[in-house]
Amino acid sequence: MRVLLAEDDALLASRLQTLLEEAGYVVIHTAEGRDAEYQGQIEDIAAAVVDLGLPGLDGLSVIERWRQAGRDFPVLVLTARARWHDKLAGFDAGADDYLTKPFQPEELLLRLRALIRRSAGHAHPRLQCGPLVLDVNAGRFELDGAPLALSAQEHRILSYFMHHPDTVLSRSRLGENVYEDGFDPDSNTLDVLIGRIRRKLGSELIHTHRGQGFRLSATP
């Protein structure tokens, strides 16, 4: 799942990028406002984390331009401005949530997960597909009530499936949303990983649609 991080403080951006990647997200980082606007226009992202004090184009203008263009992914604003009218300006521009610096990075992660969950139509922090359960806040899978051990890439793939149940996902869409360094459509890596996940699930939860992609569903 891809997240855009628009933050010009190099130290903070590095910490947040590490935190998000460890939580299973693929992070697109930019430190400049005009590039942030561009990335938000062209990339398939689940959410954006935007600092209001970006150089080149401020965060409020970036968000406004996204919304004017019909980009409706959730946006979490970061700012050192704690006054209510500044927060109101952020919400008016189209932001969905607000964090005032300094903040605990773990709080950002929890709020981001909640925004993504709600935007996908999942109000509850536990997603379920048959015997498979994902605790979104904890980032843990259970199968038939027991913890499910997954590699980092397997976790990303299965998390993306859980957020898009009963949907046929193409290989390119899966690859773009789970690989940090780009996706080679001619590689069989994705097929190998999905094969491993299938064996760990021990049930027919992931269905192949020849020529189209894969679908996670508790029903055939």
* 20 within 8 A of 48, measured Cβ to Cβ: no
Render pLDDT for 143-192 as a digit per residue (tens, 0 to 9): 999 999 998 889 889 988 988 888 999 888 888 777 766 666 667 888 88
- Whether the predicted pLDDT of 198 surpasses 80: yes
Same domain for 132 and 205?
yes
Write down the pLDDT at residue 124. 59
Please tell me whether residues 208 and 130 are part of one structural domain. yes
Picking from 102, 119, 136, the residue at the C-terminal end of a domain is 119
The predicted-structure confidence for 121-138, as pLDDT tens digits, reads as follows 655 568 889 999 998 777
Distance between CA atoms of residues 208 and 198, nearest Å:
11
Tens of pLDDT, residues 73-119: 999 999 887 666 777 777 888 999 988 888 888 899 989 988 988 88
Cα separation, 130 vs 206, whole angstroms: 11
The residue range of the domain holding 200 is 126-216
CATH of the domain at 32: 3.40.50.2300
User: Rounded CA gap, 58 and 61, in Å?
Assistant: 6
Q: Please give the pLDDT value at position 37.
A: 97
Mean pLDDT of all residues in 4-16: 95
My answer on whether 136 and 159 are in the same domain is: yes
Q: Mark which of 86, 119, 152 sits at the end of a domain.
A: 119
The strand pairing partners of 207, in sequence order, are: 215
Number of structural domains found in the chain: 2
11 and 73 together in one domain: yes
Q: Answer with the residue of higher pLDDT: 185 or 72.
A: 72
Residue 64: per-residue pLDDT: 94
**Same domain, yes or no: 114 and 130:** no
- Do 114 and 197 reside in the same domain of the chain? no
Among 66, 84, 119, identify where a domain stops. 119
- What pLDDT is attached to residue 183? 61
165 & 115 share domain? no
Query: What's the rounded mean pLDDT across residues 37-53?
Result: 94
